[in-house]
Amino acid sequence: MASEYVKSKKRVSLTVGDSIRIAREILGWSQNELASYTKIPQSTISGLESNRIALGVERAKKLAIALKVHPAVLLFPQWDIDQSSVA
């Protein structure tokens, strides 16, 4: 049955910053609101969204909880399981 489905083509490339911004905007939050929920300064959120600051695991956890997404959504927006191999 799985062979009946055709995988969609990749139409856009997302950065880590894009994934944070999109998740935030889906909730209708400003950067200041996200900063309030996460206790991460707004200037840092701006830096994350513009890819000037690296996300890191601890920030990813805080943001994921606030944004109600799995941390992997933020950390690995381009990951394709079909392209990955386990050695």
What domains can be seen in the chain, in order of their start residue?
14-78 (1.10.260.40)
pLDDT band at 16 (very low <50, low <70, confident <90, very high): very high
pLDDT tens-digit readout, 46-81? 999 999 999 999 999 999 999 999 999 998 877 766
SS3 state at 18: helix
Q: Which of 21 and 85 is assigned the larger pLDDT?
A: 21
Q: What angle do CA 11, 55, 50 make, to 5 degrees?
A: 60
Mean pLDDT of the residues in the chain: 87
15: its two tokens: 């950065």
